[in-house]
Amino acid sequence: MNTPARLDATFAALADPTRRAILARLALGEATVGELGEPFAMSQPAISKHLRVLELAGLIRRGRDAQRRPCRIEAAPLAEANAWLERYRQLWEMRFDDLDRLLDEMKAAGKPARKPRVRRKS
């Protein structure tokens, strides 16, 4: 799986509150499928499906303990997602005036950035 596809899978896996909650639970330590599903008003196969999505995204690994399939979080893909987001950090850490100034600088540097426009009523 190359990096763009892995980012696809990672972000898609994170785009669901149930799966994010499952990861939050797993951050506290291993848990079985039953333990993971208990907080949710959802059938057990639905939980299994969410776990499969997380597994395919490489965000969890499943072990075996008798009938149990304890899950562990695997945070490496989160690091990649974080690395992608990092490239935009300056864009959200700046205040608005700074942003405008940056865009002006970029425009002055020959980038095809357009003039900031008047904001409509939205």
Partner DNA sequence: ACCATGCATAACAATCGAGTTATGTAACTC
Partner DNA sequence: GAGTTACATAACTCGATTGTTATGCATGGT
Residues whose CB falls within 8 Å of the CB of residue 12, separated by 6 or more in sequence, listed in order: 53, 57
- Tell me whether residue 67 or residue 111 sits nearer to its own copies (CB atom): 111
Query: Would you state the structure tokens that stand for residue 4, as one six-digit string?
Result: 């763009």
Element spanning 49, H or E:
helix 44-56
- Tell me whether residue 49 or residue 72 sits nearer to DNA (CB atom): 49
Which residues of this chain interact with its own copies, rule CB under 8 A? 4, 7-12, 14-17, 20, 23-24, 27-32, 35, 63-65, 70, 73, 75-76, 78-79, 81-82, 84-89, 91-93, 103, 106-107, 111-114, 116-120
